[in-house]
């Protein structure tokens, strides 16, 4: 998937190319069966009805996978306090399991990945249609493969007959071309279906699977369950093993993803999809957890390397929006107290480098294999350093806008992540509410 979403040609031609591929395998193959000299002749009425019914389901589910909105968060009320992360691009809170898609240019609920072949995000609202499309595409290809196999078997049975008694050259070329395209398409879509069903059963999106791999790689390199990491403020942040919390059982996982516990509707082409709740609390906002961690809301786990790199930034040069907001309307005495508090904070921040050095020494003692921890990260560009998996994929390759992600990787919101204008707006709202 790496780089596919960024190719302009694929972005513009992906959907027409998929439609052309479906049309070729669907209708050219039937033309070949009906009007060529291939044995055993045209398909039966039952075969034709079954195949074309599958094609109707395939066309409709692909249409839904392309056109259904991947979901959006509606902040109809003024946001005073935001629980969870803050999206820098949307300038709004970011719910759990949501990511900012750089192609859709907004936060997507339960974002799985941005699919280049549908030009749409596979998300909470589109996943059922995407899964149904893959199912009907694979079943249609298997049906076509069966029809093609019968023609090849007939050729094998007549291999001892003179060539002029067999099918024409044009029919053989059409059969070979259709079979090759059907085989490679079946292989690609079969792999995609297996990975999608795995995500469905384990309730783990492709992005979350990437996060699981990163977390396990860090744990393997660490050699123990947790260690302390110095954060940007000089305080020690404890890194620990975190279990993936959204796997709540196979049946519950599948029902949650399809938006219904009615198994009969899971693969019904006309079935609906989950809808993002409007009350800021229901579907798309909060997710049931399995309770394996010491507390809820620990996913995604922090990235120690991001914490270290954030700590290397000179703290004094960072603008403290929270302090500016608090000091905006203080009296003289209050300003003095605030100044002393900032002095004390600066003293603590000066300990950041020492704390980081101590933490790095401990980290190096853990990694006694002589390898560089930076090898886990892609440093080929000037962008924020990002971990890459064994396939060389980053979050960017799934469509995630990395600039909108939490830089420190802790998943813990802070006023520093919220723009000063937003903090001032919240203050005015609170003052107005108090007066009323």
Question: Is the dihedral angle over the CA atoms 397, 398, 401, 407 positive or is it negative?
Answer: negative
Contact 38, 157 (CB under 8 A): no
Strand partners, 228: 238
DSSP state of 120: E
Could you give the angle at the alpha carbon of 397 between the alpha carbons of 393 and 401, nearest 5°?
125
Q: Which tokens in the block code for residue 354?
A: 């020492």
Could you give the angle at the alpha carbon of 407 between the alpha carbons of 247 and 391, nearest 5°?
60
Catalytic residue among 57, 104, 115, 182: 115
CA distance 165 to 155: 11
CA distance 4 to 287: 31
Where b means 16+ CB within 10 Å and e means fewer, 401-417 reads: bbebbbbbbbbebebeb
107 among known catalytic residues: no
According to DSSP H, which parts of 158-224 are helical? Answer: 169-202, 206-222
Q: Among candidates 123, 297, 133, 262, which has minimal Cα distance to 199? A: 123
Interacting residues of 166 by C-beta distance below 8 A, sequence separation 6+: 37, 155, 158
Where b means 16+ CB within 10 Å and e means fewer, 4-24 reads: ebeeeeeeeebbeebeeebee
Active site residues: 115
């Amino acid at each position: 998937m790496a780089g596919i979403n960024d190719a302009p040609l694929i972005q513009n031609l992906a959907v027409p190319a998929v439609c052309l591929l479906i049309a070729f395998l669907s209708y050219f193959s039937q033309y070949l069966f009906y009007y060529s000299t291939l044995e055993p002749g045209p398909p039966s009425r039952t075969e034709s009805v079954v195949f074309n019914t599958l094609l109707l389901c395939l066309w409709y589910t692909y249409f839904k996978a392309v056109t259904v909105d991947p979901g959006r968060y509606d902040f109809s009320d003024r946001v005073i306090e935001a629980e969870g992360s803050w999206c820098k691009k949307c300038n709004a809170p970011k719910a759990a399991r949501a990511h900012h898609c750089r192609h859709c240019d907004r936060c997507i609920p339960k974002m799985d990945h941005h699919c280049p072949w549908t030009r749409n995000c596979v998300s909470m609202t589109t996943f059922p249609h995407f899964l149904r499309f893959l199912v009907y595409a694979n079943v249609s290809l298997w049906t076509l493969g069966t029809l093609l196999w019968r023609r090849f078997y007939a050729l094998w049975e007549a291999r001892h007959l003179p060539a002029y008694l067999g099918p024409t050259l044009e029919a053989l070329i059409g059969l070979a071309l259709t079979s090759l395209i059907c085989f490679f398409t079946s292989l690609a879509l079969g792999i995609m279906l297996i990975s999608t069903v795995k995500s469905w059963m384990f309730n783990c999106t492709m992005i979350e699977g990437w996060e699981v791999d990163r977390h396990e790689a860090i744990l393997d390199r660490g050699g123990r369950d947790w260690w302390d990491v110095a954060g940007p403020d000089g305080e020690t942040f404890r890194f620990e093993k975190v279990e993936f919390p959204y796997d709540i059982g196979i049946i519950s996982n599948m029902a949650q993803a399809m938006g219904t516990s009615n198994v009969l509707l899971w693969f019904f082409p006309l079935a609906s999809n989950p809808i993002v709740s409007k009350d800021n609390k229901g579907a798309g906002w909060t997710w049931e957890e399995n309770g394996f961690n010491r507390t809820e809301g620990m996913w995604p786990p922090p990235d120690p390397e991001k914490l270290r790199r954030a700590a290397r930034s000179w703290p004094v040069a960072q603008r403290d929006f929270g302090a500016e907001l608090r000091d905006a309307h203080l009296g003289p005495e209050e300003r003095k107290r605030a100044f002393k508090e900032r002095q004390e904070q600066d003293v603590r921040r000066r300990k950041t480098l020492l704390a980081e050095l101590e933490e790095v020494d401990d980290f190096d003692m853990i990694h006694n294999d002589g390898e560089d921890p930076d090898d886990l990260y892609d440093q080929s560009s000037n962008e924020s350093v990002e971990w890459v998996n064994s396939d060389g994929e980053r979050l960017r390759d799934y469509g995630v806008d990395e600039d909108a992600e939490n830089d420190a990787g802790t998943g813990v919101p802070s006023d520093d992540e919220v723009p000063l204008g937003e903090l001032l707006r919240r203050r005015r709202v609170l003052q107005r509410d108090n007066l009323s």
